[in-house]
Amino acid sequence: MAIQWFPGHMHLTRKAIVERMKDIDVVIELLDARLPGSSANPLLAELTGQKPSLKVLNKQDVADSARTVAWLDWYNARPGTRAIALDASDAAPARRLIDACRQLAPQRGTAMKPMRVLICGIPNVGKSTLINTLTAKREAKTGDEAGITKQEQRIVLADDFYLWDTPGMLWPRIIVPESGYKLAAAGAVGRNAYDEEEVALELLAYLKHHYAPLLEKRYNLGLNASAVAAMHDEELLELVARKRGAVMSGGRPNLQKAAEIVLTDLRSAILGRLTLETTEEFAGWLAAAEVQEQERAARKAEQQKRKDRRPRPAPSA
């Protein structure tokens, strides 16, 4: 099942970004450090053009630290881009992004030429928490549900530093299937756009190979890492259900309840420090998806050619 979610308010956000870009010096994109590739919005590059970009890997305190370093190197190798990792609720590192913006646009940041920054990101990535930390007060609403912020907000961080916060936005078509599942697992997709059991199975399929000890510790599976990795995904979800008491009448495991437990544990970071993709994995997924998109476009073009070649009926007299 392909996961897609682009409700009406995201269309408005896209238009607002286009309109705002003519007055912006630096674009901050807040990423989820647990999925730094999948949470990067490909539409944003199109909308922001050649503006300097600061990639902020948020929630780094619950991500795999070694993988975070690799992702920072990956983004810092791009021209006109800087990347830092932080925990949005920690005031000290959060201030680092202001210095990073000044380095990207050194000609701005004076009383005559204040720094004008746009902050973007997928839903539920922590933008509102970060802004509240920066301003030391509750400027933005926060919550654990995708789509809390619904309109643009202008925030003055200093006399020479203006920040525009935009609502969380995905993109019209998620072409990388793996990214769709990871975005849903992280809570960036509306709950009516995916099946929780299917997303939990995809999540467990990844975790059992890369973070089996965390699964064993959290759910007391009674198995070693190799045994966990060898389990079928459905069997693993059933075992989680039984270990957590999610059992229906007749002793049948409640897979829906087990799926909710697994997804909640990921979103609340109870599972431990983990990252759901490496730079190499994401690059491979993206390359495969782009090939499929090219093939899809070619088929669509061929269908259109066939349609155009069909003889049209003669006009009636």
Domain residue limits, the chain: 9-165, 174-304
Q: pLDDT tens across 262-272, in order?
A: 999 999 999 99
pTM: 0.88
| DSSP code of residue 271 | T
Give the per-residue pLDDT at 9: 85
Average pLDDT over residues 291-313: 86
pLDDT band at 243 (very low <50, low <70, confident <90, very high): very high
Architecture of domain 174-304: Orthogonal Bundle (1.10)
- Summary count for the chain: helices (H), strands (E): 13, 6
Distance CA 163, CA 295 (A): 41
Range from 63-72, 88-97, 121-130, 220-229 carrying the lowest mean pLDDT: 88-97
At 269, is the secondary structure helix, strand, or coil? Answer: coil
Average pLDDT over residues 210-238: 97
Give the per-residue pLDDT at 132: 82
pLDDT over threshold 80, residue 34: yes
pLDDT band at 317 (very low <50, low <70, confident <90, very high): low
Give the per-residue pLDDT at 195: 96
Dihedrals phi, psi of 212, to nearest 5 degrees: -55, -40
Superfamily of domain 9-165: P-loop containing nucleotide triphosphate hydrolases (3.40.50.300)
pLDDT over threshold 70, residue 14: yes
Q: pLDDT tens across 123-162, in order?
A: 999 888 888 888 776 454 544 444 444 456 788 887 888 8
Distance CA 314, CA 311 (A): 9
Range from 239-243, 245-249, 303-307 carrying the lowest mean pLDDT: 303-307
DSSP 178-227: HHHHHHHHHT-S-GGGS-HHHHHHHHHHHHHHH-HHHHHHHH-----HHH
In b/e form, how buried is each residue of 192-219, taking b as 16+ CB within 10 angstroms? ebbebbebbbbbbebbbebbbebbbebb
